[in-house]
Structure 1
Amino acid sequence: MKHSNIQEMEDSSLWIILDRQKTGTASYIPLLDIPKQILERYRDTEFAGTGGKVFTLQTHVNMNWQLKRIAKAADIDKRLIFHMSRFSFATTVCLTQGVPIESLSQMMGHLSIKTTQIYAEVTRTKINEDMTNLAKTIEGKYDLSNTPTKKRVMKVAFNNE
């Protein structure tokens, strides 16, 4: 990624805009505060790129080696690899926080939403959050009818015999 891929929009927000090498599709990714801070923190360090590049990452092998160095510098006791970062972004950062899969698909540069669905890891926590939000949204909008349905009347009558 090059600094030229980071563009300021009319509303002053920063976006990463680039064409995915694998699919040739455009990716549009708004930069949140933490990524902005990371870019600023590593701007003038040994990890900063040259020739307009943001970081000194050229190949997957080199990228994984650099991620190992970054993990060590950040006291992260886990082996980091490139695909892990895409997976974590997709699942932990986006999907579990409520970003629609359609938006994620565009950010990831996927040609088909079916490719993005691979990342759609649904957890019990997420289901609980979604249903809690739904309960708040529909609260007071629906009432249980006091009129019994035909099935209920028949069941009650059958059980009382």
Structure 2
Amino acid sequence: YRTVCNHIREFLPHTYKREDIPLKELNLTFINDFEYFLRTEKKCRTNTVWGYMIVLKHIVSIARNDGRLTFNPFAGYINSPESVDRGYLAQTEIQTLMNAPMKNATHELVRDLFVFSVFTGLAYSDVKNLTANRLQTFFDGNLWIITRRKKTNTESNIRLLDVPKRIIEKYKGLARDGHVFPVPNNGSCNKILKDIGRQCGFKVRLTYHVARHTNATTVLLSHGVPIETVSRLLGHTNIKTTQIYAKITAQKISQDMETLSHKLEDMEKNICRAI
């Protein structure tokens, strides 16, 4: 919200030579002009513009619900996000990552936190804010993370597999204020992950988003976990978000079958002749 408000503060004098504008003057032209400003002056990409417009639309809806605005200035406005290629690591690449020698203890920590996210689906902010009291032995006798996603405030209860449990044990007692891990800041983590990815020869640029996507595709969906369960584990508010990962998995299957087709080409020709 703060970012959108700051952009509007710049937009008004730039486009309308004004410092403020009454709500009743909001209209479709204003909204289209603001979108043009974001794309041209702020160099925002399509999905960023879409996100900002969602925020502005929410502000407008609050004004309408309060009776301060009697019409919908967004009527007739059309905008939609672009489909994003959500990069992820294959199972062999996860193994490559674990076998790669790390430069120092900090690189090893960041690598381990990435792998923790791969096996839990937690975003960077959720890993950073994870506290020991969120680790609980649940009804089935297994260790779970009982938490809410910071981004969506949705419940996300995750039963821990052996890998994340081992990582928790490895860093036990090294963090302050009851936190589970001594997590470096996001900028440092991303820089180190970039170095590690280059060292491993990965085409995908490593980020904690990639770790989360890897959890959805390589760890869960590719091993037959139902999409409804994946959606709950990831804390998605809409299963359509999860279905993007299922589409990626289908694409991966298609690519793998295409590779297999080339490998079996000679054998298939011989069999087809005999049929």
Q: Distance in 2 between matches of 1:53 and 1:93?
A: 26
Offset of residue 107 of structure 1: 0.7
Aligned to 1:17: 146
Q: Is residue 4 of structure 1 aligned with residue 133 of structure 2?
A: yes
Q: Distance in 2 between matches of 1:24 and 1:53?
A: 19
Q: Distance in 1 between matches of 2:234 and 2:191?
A: 23
Q: Is residue 29 of structure 1 aligned with residue 137 of structure 2?
A: no
Matched pairs, number = 122
Provide Cα deviations, 1:61-110, integer angstroms capped at 9, x if missing partner. Answer: 244356568x59xx855553110110000000000000111001001111
TM-score by length of 2: 0.39
Q: Is residue 64 of structure 1 aligned with residue 190 of structure 2?
A: yes
Task: List alignment gaps of at least 5 residues for structure 1.
Answer: 129-161
Aligned to 1:97: 223
Match of 1:111 among 237, 252, 257: 237
Q: Distance in 2 between matches of 1:87 and 1:96?
A: 12
Offset of residue 50 of structure 1: 1.5
Q: Distance in 2 between matches of 1:66 and 1:60?
A: 10
Aligned to 2:46: none
Offset of residue 38 of structure 1: 1.6
Q: Distance in 2 between matches of 1:62 and 1:53?
A: 19
The DSSP-based 3-state class of the residue aligned with 1:27 is strand
Counterpart AA for 2:228:
E
Structure 1 residues 98, 77: CA separation in 2 closer, same or farther (over 3 Å shift)?
same
CA contact (8 A) 1:27 1:107 kept: yes
TM-score by length of 1: 0.64
Percent of paired sites with the same residue? 42
Provide Cα deviations, 1:28-77, integer angstroms capped at 9, x if missing partner. Answer: 11101111112112335xxx4211111223653244356568x59xx855
Q: Distance in 2 between matches of 1:4 and 1:66?
A: 29
Structure 1 residues 59, 105: CA separation in 2 closer, same or farther (over 3 Å shift)?
farther
